[in-house]
Amino acid sequence: MTLADTHVHPPENPESTDPRLPLHGLVVLDLTTFLSGPYCTQILADLGAEVIKLEPLTGDSSRGIPPHFIGDDSAYYLGNNRNKTSVALNLKSSEGLEIALGLAARADVVVENFRPGVASKLGLDCDALRAERPGLIWASISGFGQSGPWRDRLAYDMIVQALSGVMSLTGHPEQPSARLGIPAGDLAAGMFAAIGVLAAVASRAVTGVGRTIDVSMLDGQLSMLSYQAVYALLTGTAPGPQSSRHDSIPTYRSFTGGDGRELVVTANTERMWAGLCDVLGVPELVADERFRDARSRLTHRDELWPLLEQAFLARDAAEWVDLLTAGQVPAALIKTVPEALADAGDAGRGMLVDLADEAGHRVRTMATPITFVGDRPRRHTYPPRLGQDTEEVLGRFLGISGSRVAELREAGILIAEPLAHDARGRTAGE
Counted residue by residue, the chain has a size of 430
Closest-CA residue to 168 (of 179, 153, 157, 159): 179
CA distance 156 to 167: 14
Alpha-carbon dihedral angle through residues 113, 118, 119, 125, given to the nearest 10 degrees: 130
Closest-CA residue to 250 (of 311, 302, 211): 302
Instruction: Report the helix count and the strand count for the chain, using DSSP H and E.
Output: 18, 15
DSSP 378: P
Closest-CA residue to 109 (of 86, 126, 87, 128): 126
Could you tell me which residues come within 8 angstroms of residue 20 by beta carbon, excluding any fewer than 6 positions away? 48, 372, 375, 376, 378
Could you tell me which residues come within 8 angstroms of residue 53 by beta carbon, excluding any fewer than 6 positions away? 30, 38, 41, 60, 81, 84, 85, 86, 87, 384
- Residues with active-site annotation: 246
- Dihedral pair phi/psi, residue 203, rounded to 5°: -65, -40
Could you tell me which residues come within 8 angstroms of residue 225 by beta carbon, excluding any fewer than 6 positions away? 164, 165, 166, 232
- Dihedral pair phi/psi, residue 99, rounded to 5°: -65, -45
